[in-house]
Amino acid sequence: MLTFRSHSICFYAAAVVLGTLLPIGGIDVLAKTRNTQSQSSQNSLTPLQWEIEKQRTRLGSGDVEERRDAIMQLGSMHHPEAARLAASALRDPVAIVRATAAASILSLPAEESAPNLIPLLSDKDEFVRREAAYALGKTGSASASSALIERLLTDKKDEVRGAAAVALGQIKDAAAISSLSSVLDAQLAVKSSKKKEKRKKEQDVFVLRAAARSLGQIGSSAALPALVRVLQDEKAETDVRREAASALGLIGDPAAIPALQGALTASDPYLVEAANNAIRNISRSRAATVR
């Protein structure tokens, strides 16, 4: 038989379940307990986790500059978890935000960052494509070589092509030698006095210099023919010839010495210096091999 007290307790419990009582007494205690648990959970976050969560909130801002700043803050943490959050901004509708995110996810392992970046090489915005190419070079992942080669050979923007060439040199994938060489074998001398064409020429020079330097970084003798042709082409831009000389020195193949010796009589003192340095590098490499 239920007493008045036990009957009241049953009624109170049922009322709590149904949510019909005002938040007094036991419900106040329950609310305080939940608040304490929530506070305890927040207090368990490390300073890094706190900062990541702070930037997560800012990434949802409608202000472009605030989103960009949040991404840069995440990148500056140099931590995989922060980089994974920054990677979500690679799909941002604003190009400058996507471009900023590309450089902010490099704390991820290459096998994780490269697949995130490769799709950006096909982005409609040239700045995004360029930044993605530079970022891929820093990953060092050969999985990006094919996509970078495609940008090098087909992109309409020289800044993107140059960035792709730089990245291929950083990755050091021998599969890129043929494509980089074909860029050098293209017409190197552009004669024009028009400002627009002069500016285009300067952009082309950037691509050519990057291609020559990257061939040197890859370090294969397979690049010698293209580099020697550039070095011996007196109509080629001097800056490109210097890069070719330096690249030959990096490769270290003695077969390049005759061409480098021929450059010692060039009128440009910096080209002469580059050729001299290359010859010394090759000589040191040979001496080290003999030992």
The HSE-up count of residue 205 (CA atoms within 13 Å, CB side) is: 18
Q: What is the pLDDT of residues 128-149, one digit of tens each?
A: 999 999 999 999 999 999 999 9
Angle at 170 between CA 169 and CA 175, to 5 degrees: 50
- Is the pTM of the predicted complex or chain greater than 0.85? no
Q: What's the pLDDT score for residue 186?
A: 83
Q: What's the pLDDT score for residue 14?
A: 43
For the segment 175-183, the average pLDDT, to the nearest whole number, is 98
CA terminus-to-terminus distance, the chain: 103
Q: What's the pLDDT score for residue 286?
A: 74
Tokens of residue 216, six digits: 């040197």
Question: 187 pLDDT band (50/70/90 cuts)?
Answer: low
Q: What is the pLDDT of residues 208-228, one digit of tens each?
A: 999 999 999 999 999 999 999
Percent of the chain with pLDDT over 90: 75
DSSP 27-57: HHHHHHHHHHHHHHHHHTS-HHHHHHHHHHH
How far apart CA 23 and CA 33 sit, in angstroms, is: 13
For the segment 103-110, the average pLDDT, to the nearest whole number, is 98
pLDDT tops 90 at residue 198: no
pLDDT tops 90 at residue 258: yes
pLDDT tops 50 at residue 3: no
Q: What is the pLDDT of residues 23-77, one digit of tens each?
A: 444 445 444 545 544 455 556 889 999 999 999 999 999 999 999 999 999 999 9
* Residue 29 exposed, middle or buried by CB count within 10 Å (0-12, 13-18, 19+): exposed
Q: What's the pLDDT score for residue 10?
A: 46
Tokens of residue 273, six digits: 């210096």
Q: For residues 183-206, b (16+ Cβ closer than 10 Å) or e, as one string?
A: bbeeebeeeeeeeeeeeeeeebbb
Q: What's the pLDDT score for residue 141?
A: 98
Homologous superfamily (CATH) for 184-291: Leucine-rich Repeat Variant (1.25.10.10)
Tokens of residue 99, six digits: 């471009």
The HSE-up count of residue 22 (CA atoms within 13 Å, CB side) is: 1
Q: Quote the DSSP letter at residue 233.
A: -
Mean pLDDT value across the chain: 86
Closest CA to 230 of 285, 277, 271: 271
Which residues does 218 contact at the CB level (< 8 Å), separation at least 6? 168, 169, 172, 173, 174, 176, 177, 180
Q: For residues 227-257, b (16+ Cβ closer than 10 Å) or e, as one string?
A: bbbbbeeeebbebbbbbbbbbbbbbbbeebb
pLDDT tops 70 at residue 194: no
pLDDT tops 60 at residue 94: yes
How far apart CA 90 and CA 168 sit, in angstroms, is: 22
Q: Which amino acid is at 20?
A: T
